[in-house]
Chain A
Amino acid sequence: MATTETRGAIRIEDVVKIYDPDGAAVMAVDHCSLDIAAGEICMIVGPSGCGKTTLLNAIAGFHEITSGRITLDGEVLCSTDRPKSRPGSDRVVVFQNGALFPWKTNLDNVAFGPIMQGKLSKAEAREKALSMMADAGLNGVEHNYPGEVSSGVRRRIEIVRALMNDPKVLLLDEPYRALDSLTKSVMHEALLEIYYRNKVTIFFITHDLEEAIFLGHKVAIMTSRPCKPKKVLTVDIPHPRDYGVLTSKRFRELIEETNEAVHEEAVKAFQSGEKEG
């Protein structure tokens, strides 16, 4: 797949998002700035309800921002003047709870994007989908419906469905939250394998610090709501990585270095939750 190094650089500048500004005025994101280089895996870690999904939705174009600016490869996606970007196949989202269409077979789900965009005919799209699924080790389930395969497989299919569109950025919202740890480790390796082949920029939200450090080039630890980076960590473990990394000394050190920051925010989030609820 042809990718150049200038594809998929995201710049988040001073983004503010206030839900319901005339009423309850919930500030979800507060003057948040973050730079993600083209082809980088950027992991977003933060406590529950801090505003991670809100930030992702702003990049994806699902809702407006209150102020600030987000650019993709220098082009403005949204800004104070034009607060909502148009969702598009250059930034495909893999959803927190999964969004494969249950009424389409796995194959038709994967083939969906290019057919909608009129880029490929139905037959061509299916052929490409078949080969992409085979490459990702997903053969055998093409003609099943999503409801018939395990949740781990569904997540992988959803990622392949996103990659079918040759996106600049993959936006993943806690894709592996519901999986057991064994399946999770299989998924991580599968994701990295896909990444090494496609080299898209990945914006990956998670709760799990180990997951973040294992996968990411960069880990942004977010504050409790309103959300902005509290600490941005560069993970200096070289890619390609495999499971050996988990037991390496450097990995442990990085975990220790960041654990405190994460824990602190989690406690804050918990306490403010207690106040509200």
Chain B
Amino acid sequence: MPQQDKQPISPDMMIGILKATMPFQVVSEPLLRRIAAIGWKTTFRAGDTLYEAGGPADDLFIVVAGKIDHELQPGVHARRPMKTLVEGDVFGWAALLEKVPNRLAKAVCTEDALVIRINGEELLKVLESDPNAGDVVMSRFATMITRDYTVPDLIAQLRGIHRKLHARDPQGMNVTLYRVSRWLKSPKPYLMLIGLSIFFGGWYLFVEVLRLPRFREMPGITTVVAEWMSPNPTYGLSIYTGEYYQHILVSIWRVTQAFFLATALGVPLGLFLGWSRKFKDLVFPVFETLRPIPILAWVPIAIVMFVATESAVIFLTFLASFFATALNTMLGVESIDESYVRAAYCLGSNERQVFLHVIVPGSLPFIFTGLQISVGVAWFSLVAAEMVSGQYGLGYVINTSYTTVKYPTIIIGMITLGAVGYVTSAMVRVAGDYMMQWRLRELAMGAN
């Protein structure tokens, strides 16, 4: 078997050849480049045997020029065992088969030929580095083997691409998990920890070590943590008191109601604002007049409007979220490329279908940006609202602790508020990722 003259080949030429073959046609440029890096060229003279059936299946071949006769052995049950291979044909694919370590065919050069050879093992390794694209290549190999070489499916079982996570599965939480695992591998979480340490360290340093005059009245971090973790808190609130959790739950419940109300009203309003010019001309001026009014300015009206204080608190929490959601949704609709709408009409959609299949999904990225802002401002507004009224809630804790001079409790309330707020906005982000897998995958591609 002429193993001799394996010569290097220029990557650009190799890429050009790969692009013209069935399995590699759809592969992205960067991956092609990596495949090109493991390719060699070899020339054969008419009459040379490239390999015999039963020989070791190591390399994969691509014909660049010349002719090669390819005869599958009878055991393969190909419908047409004989095939003459010309430019662009890929053979030697036994190197990629699951069950067969040996050649299934005899390949003889009939007209002086230039071929490219790629080691099967090495190719699989390269494909594993990009499992999504790798899967595509392997599935195209399978198609090629069954279609062009008329080999039954049973034999054409290709080796799987080993992958850590099935990021390709369009359903399920997989992509989200994939993203989490990427996040853990990136420097982000560690930078986050460092940032937090600097913040808390600074607090300790300024208040308790340096004792700067500005922070004289401010409780130190050790005092706060001691109070927070104490089974018998001096000021009555710690992780051991049931009250603490009651405040948290009441606040979460209020924010949840306000957030869902804001979403249920804000998203449709935003969609219609963006979709209908007339509707926008009618509604938007009013919208823009009300939007900049701060929550505190709404307080008197809220108290007058709602008899029940609870409703007033929820109304106040809801307002800013509602504006943020509606505005972002509208911008989302306006951001949609006109071509998508036109394409949908071209493909026979009516107006309702365009709305459902283009406008709604097309504005989702903006909607979720809006929703993240919306949870944030809901917590913002909640504190203002709870300062006005109510008996429970984190805003209430902060406010009453101030009037009753329980400074460590103020800080406990603030930190808890921050942490719970962070968690809720992370939840919205995860929900967004889950609903927009296509975007994640695009981002994942971009990061590669």
- Which residues does A use to contact B, with CB under 8 Å? 60-62, 87-89, 91-93, 95-99, 101-105, 112-113, 116-117, 134, 137-141, 143-145, 147-150, 153, 161-162, 165, 182-183, 186
CB distance from B362 to the nearest CB of A (A): 7
Contact call B136/A101, Cβ cutoff below 8 A: no
Q: B343 near A: Cβ within 8 Å?
A: yes
Could you mark each residue 428-448 of chain B with 1 if its beta carbon is under 8 Å from any beta carbon of chain A, else 0? 000000001111011001000
Chain B residue at smallest Cβ distance from A114: B348
Beyond A92-B346, A137-B22, A182-B19, whether A147 also contacts B442 by CB under 8 A is: yes
A60 to B348, CA, bound (A): 12
Nearest CB of chain B from residue A146's CB, rounded to whole Å: 8
**B442→A88 contact, CB < 8 A:** no
Which residues of chain B come closer than 8 Å to A183, judged between CB atoms? 19
* A182 vs B223: C-alpha distance when bound (angstroms): 70
> Out of B348, B358, B442, which one reaches A113, CB within 8 Å?
B348
Measured between beta carbons, the chain B residues less than 8 angstroms from A162 are 346-347
CA distance A140 to B27 in the complex (A): 11
Task: Annotate B340-357 by CB proximity to A: 1 below 8 A, 0 otherwise.
Answer: 101111111110010001
CB atoms of A116 and B353 under 8 A apart: yes
Chain A residues with Cβ below 8 Å from B337 are 97, 99
Asked whether B20 is an interface residue with its Cβ less than 8 Å from the other chain, the reply is: yes
If the complex has contacts A89-B346, A92-B347, A113-B348, are A186 and B445 also in contact, measured as CB distance less than 8 A? Answer: no
- Among the listed stretches B56-64, B137-145, B207-215, which one makes contact with chain A, having 4 or more residues with CB under 8 Å of it? B137-145
Q: Which chain B residues lie closer than 8 Å to A95 at the CB level? A: 339, 342-343
Is the pair A147, B445 in contact by a Cβ cutoff of 8 Å? Answer: yes
A157 to B: closest C-beta gap in Å: 10
Q: What residues of B have a CB within 8 angstroms of the CB of A149 in the complex?
A: 26, 28
Interface residues in B1-57 (C-beta closer than 8 Å to A): 15-16, 19-20, 22, 25-29
Q: Are A93 and B442 in contact (CB under 8 A)?
A: no
A93-B342, A140-B26, A149-B26 given; A116·B438 CB < 8 A:
no
Q: How far is the CB of A100 from chain B (nearest CB, A)?
A: 8
Contact, CB under 8 Å: A102 / B442: yes
CA distance A98 to B343 in the complex (A): 10
- A70–B206 CA distance with the chains assembled, in angstroms: 79
A-facing residues in B402-433 (Cβ within 8 Å): none
Task: Kindly list the 3 A-B residue pairs having the minimum CB-CB distance in the complex, ordered from nearest.
Answer: A147-B442, A113-B347, A117-B348
Nearest Cβ on chain B to A22's Cβ, whole angstroms: 18
Q: A101-B344, A104-B438 are in contact. List 7 more A-B contacts (CB 8 A).
A: A88-B345, A88-B346, A89-B347, A93-B342, A140-B137, A140-B139, A143-B168
B428 to chain A, nearest CB (A): 19
- Are the C-beta atoms of A140 and B136 separated by less than 8 Å? yes
Closest A residue to B362 by CB, please name it: A103
The answer for the CA separation of A85 and B439 in the assembled complex, in Å, is 35
Q: Is B195 an interface residue (CB 8 A)?
A: no
CA separation between A87 and B437, bound complex, in Å? 31
List chain B positions with a Cβ less than 8 A from chain A. 15-16, 19-20, 22, 25-29, 132, 135-137, 139-140, 143, 168, 170, 337, 339-340, 342-350, 353, 357-358, 361-362, 364, 436-439, 441-442, 445
Chain A residues lying within 8 Å of B143, measured Cβ to Cβ, are 134, 139-140
Complex: how many Å from CA A97 to CA B16? 24
- Closest Cβ neighbor of A91 among chain B residues: B346
Q: Considering the chains assembled together, what is the distance between the CA atoms of A79 and B15 in angstroms?
A: 50
Contact (Cβ within 8 A) A150 B29: yes
Across the interface, B170 reaches (CB within 8 A) one of A117, A141, A143, A165, namely A143
Q: How far is the CA of A183 from the CA of B361 in the complex (A)?
A: 31
Q: Judging by beta carbons under 8 Å apart, are A186 and B132 in contact?
A: no
What are 12 contact pairs spanning A and B, CB under 8 A? A101-B343, A101-B358, A112-B344, A140-B26, A144-B441, A147-B438, A148-B441, A148-B442, A150-B27, A150-B28, A161-B347, A162-B347
Q: By the criterion CB–CB under 8 Å, are A102 and B438 in contact?
A: yes
A223 to chain B, nearest CB (A): 26
Given A112-B347, A147-B442, residue A141 in contact with residue B361 (CB < 8 A)? no
Chain A residue at minimum C-beta to C-beta distance from B349: A116
Shortest Cβ gap from A115 to chain B (Å): 9
Closest B residue to A161 using CB positions: B347
Q: Least Cβ distance of B74 to chain A in Å?
A: 28
Q: Which of B29, B140, B438 contacts A103 (CB 8 A)?
A: B438
Please state if A145 and B441 are interface contacts (CB–CB under 8 Å).
Answer: yes
> Could you say which of B19, B140, B349, B445 contacts A139, with CB atoms under 8 Å apart?
B140
Bound Cα distance from A244 to B7, whole angstroms? 29
CA distance A60 to B347 in the complex (A): 11
Cβ A101 vs Cβ B19 within 8 A:
no
Contacts A148-B445, A186-B25; is A103 near B342 (CB within 8 Å)? no
Instruction: Say whether B342 contacts A60, CB under 8 Å.
Output: yes
Report which of A87, A138, A143 forms a contact with B26, defined as CB distance below 8 A: A138
Residue of B nearest to A167 (CB): B346
B343 pairs with A93, CB closer than 8 A = yes
A102 CB to closest chain B CB, in angstroms? 6
Give the complex CA separation of A141 and B137 in angstroms.
9
Query: Which B residues touch A61, using CB under 8 A?
Result: 345
Beta-carbon contact of A89 and B348 below 8 Å:
yes
Contacts of A91 in B (CB 8 A): 346
